[in-house]
A and B are shown apart, each in its own frame.
Chain A
Amino acid sequence: MFLAPALIGFTAFVVYPLFRSAYFALTTYNGLTDPKFVGLDNFRRMFTTDPSFWPSVRATLLLVVLYVPLSLIIGLALAVFCNQRMRGVGLLRTLCYLPVVLPVVATITLWKFVFNPQVGLANQVLHWLHLPTSEWLSGDDSAMPSIVIVMLWSVGSTMIIFLAALQAVPTELYEAARLDGAGSRTVFFRITLPLISPIMILQVVLQMVTALQAFNQPKILSPDNQGGPGFSTRTLMLSIYDNGFPRLGQVSQFGYASAQVWVLFLVIVVVIAATARFSSIWTYSDHVS
């Protein structure tokens, strides 16, 4: 009885859509007439004729490659930095976490204006520092890095998790290492890093899944709201959205969008599986349970 709402919801909102979307992927379906079975045609179209598919794969992978390592490194560095006994460290933690608390749309729109090439803060700061300015979101090559910067501004969420992991490391280990004369670098790479490696792996998976499904940032930040300029920030999620829920006057392509959903889903499954496989090699675990 206590489980009933969850079970109904699970069937209706998880199991049913899963099978339904697998079926849609094999049909042409516009949401108005009945789905028509076409086998793998959607996938053939995606891989061979759709001019926007491969660019969107490229944009998605670029986002992952830029965002995931940076968010982990910066998140961990901030956590280590904020894990020291200093006056005002609490304030610093709060400031780092502040962007995470703010509504996502509010921060994205704020950054859209920060990146305004003429009157935005970003170029103004570069100007003060006598550095070359940038076109930011309207440049082909700078659009995706700009989006990554916006996403990295919320690195506080990663930092908090790492901070909790760091504080769970037993103090005795540090003391023992210090008695043995280990320097801070040795302590970090030989003790801290191995001990927090399970959390690290979890974060790798979570951040990859986040980056692969990024939607809000490229949608709101791109000048045309469709992943421009060109295809530079048109991620797979944007492509799925545009095909499935197009602007007024265009026909939805639920079948084709579902096929893209499955490509994205399979990529996510592969990423998780590969990370799980990989993690058993290099994470530390004491087999005492």
Chain B
Amino acid sequence: MTTSPDVTRAPTTAPKTPLPAKPRGRAVRKASWYATALLISSVMILPILWMLTVALKGPSAVFEVPPKLLPHEFHFKNFIDGPKVIHFPRLLLNSLVITGLSVIGGVMTSMMAGYALARLRFPGRKVWFYVFVGSMLLPPVVGIIPLFQLFKDIGWYDTWLPLIVPAFLGGNPLFIFLARQYFLSIPHSIDEAAKVDGAGHVRIFVSVMLPITKPAWITMSILAFQMSWNDYLNPLIYLYSSQKWPLSVGMASFVTQFAGQTPDWNLYMATNLLYMLPPLIVFFVAQRYFIQGLSALGTVNQR
């Protein structure tokens, strides 16, 4: 069955009509387009390329004045020494556990809530929908102090629980909204057929809905992955012991802890590249769904 709801259909390449132009004008236009494109790309890519060269420099070459763009000699050992100094393997493992669990929890509960709001009949479901959408606008900063106190009181301070458990309880209002929109677009005849065959709601959800809604929950998973992988404030507040830090806090502390003293930027940049790899891989593997999901956001909000 290939039901692909309209909401997530990605707008393909621009059906934009080029404005009429004289041949010579068109050539000039083209040339200026490419010149601008080159300029934009270099602004975007230059810091990353430079990071790569710093990651390959020796300790003294980093602090040369004026700085050289290319290293005289390549120190590939930075990619081994850097992670050792920064305790990269431990931080990576922590990040993977925290992020993995919060992605699973957030996506699962948001999909369930979206299903309930879109396809089950119960009193006040409209109200709940507006409450969830409304809570999207509530800035997270409002809750940080009471939540910190709450988690401290129940003994969760300096554990990963405050970073993981909330994901299992409600996930993300944005995801609930997305899931609901998606579920609304699925024709009712599908679950009616399943009901006639004797399937309950759990069965329908797991074996009928989850396969159909694959683009939706893949998009959510990528977004949830990015959010958790990027989160800096929450782990900073809740995790005291450096053994429990995720990469975000560990990496930042390597740069910020040296009061007045400069960190080994070459070792740091080599490790930073490794830190960037998982999100990059996730993005490029699932890029198709991701762009779809983001476009869905754009069009959903417009209607």
Point out residues on A near B: beta carbons under 8 Å. 1-3, 5-10, 12-14, 16-18, 20-21, 24, 31, 78, 81, 83-86, 88-92, 95-96, 98-99, 101-106, 108-114, 118-121, 124-125, 127, 153, 156, 160-161, 164-168, 171, 174-175, 178, 183-184, 187, 198-199, 202, 209, 212-213, 215-216, 219-220, 225, 237, 240-241, 244-245, 254, 257-258, 261-262, 264-265, 268, 272
B80 proximal to A (CB < 8 A) = no
B117 at the A interface (CB under 8 A):
yes
Q: Chain B residues near A9 (CB, 8 Å)? A: 109, 166, 168-171
Question: Chain B, interface size: which category?
Answer: 35 or more
Cβ-defined contact, B67 with A119, below 8 A: yes
Interface residues of chain B, those whose CB is within 8 Å of chain A, are 11, 13-20, 30, 33-34, 36-37, 40-41, 43-48, 50-51, 54, 62-67, 69, 109-110, 112-113, 115-117, 120, 122, 128, 131-132, 135, 137-150, 152, 166, 168-171, 176, 201, 205, 226, 229-230, 232-233, 236-237, 247-248, 251-252, 255-256, 265, 268-269, 272, 275-276, 279-280, 283, 291, 294-295, 297-299, 301-302
Tell me, rounded to whole Å, the shortest Cβ–Cβ distance linking B152 to chain A.
7
User: Could you tell me if B272 and A109 are in contact, using CB atoms closer than 8 angstroms?
Assistant: yes
Contact B139 A103 (CB under 8 A): no
16 other A-B residue contacts (CB within 8 Å) besides A9-B171, A101-B226: A2-B113, A9-B170, A18-B143, A83-B16, A98-B45, A105-B230, A105-B232, A106-B272, A110-B47, A119-B63, A160-B298, A164-B298, A167-B14, A198-B302, A225-B256, A245-B237
B169 close to A13 (CB less than 8 A): yes
Given the contacts A167-B11, A245-B237, A261-B144, A121 and B138 also touching, CB distance less than 8 Å: no
Q: Are A103's CB and B279's CB within 8 A?
A: yes
Docked CA distance A213–B140 (Å): 9
Q: A254 vs B139: C-alpha distance in the bound complex, in angstroms?
A: 18
11 A-B residue pairs with Cβ-Cβ distance under 8 Å, sorted by A, are A1-B116, A6-B113, A7-B128, A9-B169, A85-B16, A95-B40, A109-B255, A113-B51, A121-B47, A171-B15, A254-B149
Which 3 residue pairs are nearest across A and B when measured between Cβ atoms? A9-B170, A9-B169, A164-B298
B40 near A17: Cβ-Cβ < 8 Å: no
Of A8, A81, A168, A202, which is within 8 A of B36 by CB?
A81
B14 touches A83 (CB 8 A): yes
Do A168 and B11 touch (CB < 8 A)? yes
**A216→B233 contact, CB < 8 A:** yes
A78 CB contact (under 8 Å) in B40, B122, B145, B301: B40
Q: Do A261 and B255 form a contact, CB below 8 Å, given A104-B232, A167-B14?
A: no
Tell whether, in the assembled complex, residue B16 and residue A21 are in contact, meaning their CB atoms are under 8 Å apart: no
Measured CB to CB, the closest approach of chain A to B85, in angstroms, equals 15
Given contacts A8-B170, A81-B40, contact A113 B265 (CB under 8 A): yes
* A260–B66 alpha-carbon span in the complex (Å): 44
Whether the Cβ atoms of B237 and A106 lie closer than 8 Å is: no
Consensus secondary structure, chain B interface: helix
Residues of B with C-beta under 8 A to A240: 141, 144
Contact with A92, one of B40, B51, B169 (Cβ below 8 angstroms): B40
Verify A3–B19 contact, CB threshold 8 A: no
Contact B146 A24 (CB under 8 A): yes
Please tell me which one of the listed residues B128, B138, B299 contacts residue A3 in the complex, with CB atoms under 8 A apart: B128
Partner of B48, one of A98, A225, A262: A98
- Contact among A18, A102, A104, A171 for B17, CB-based, below 8 A: A171
Contacts of A114 in B (CB 8 A): 47, 50
Which residue from A17, A198, A220 sits with its C-beta under 8 Å from B301?
A198
Closest chain A CB from B124 CB (angstroms): 10
Beta-carbon contact of A31 and B152 below 8 Å: yes
Residues of A within 8 A of B14 (CB): 83-85, 166-167
Q: Contacts of B30 on A, CB cut-off 8 Å?
A: 86
The verdict on A5 contacting B168 (CB below 8 Å), with A92-B41, A167-B14 known, is: yes
Task: Say whether, besides A78-B40, A121-B47, A127 and B66 are in contact (CB < 8 Å).
Answer: yes
Known contacts: A31-B152, A216-B232. The answer to whether A103 contacts B120 by CB under 8 A is: no
- Kindly identify which residue among B34, B146, B176 contacts A17, using a CB–CB cutoff of 8 Å: B146
CB distance from B293 to the nearest CB of A (A): 10
Nearest neighbor of A114 in chain B, beta-carbon distance: B47
Given the complex, which residues of A lie within 8 Å of B51, measured CB to CB? Answer: 110, 113
Contact between chains at A174 and B298 (CB < 8 Å): no
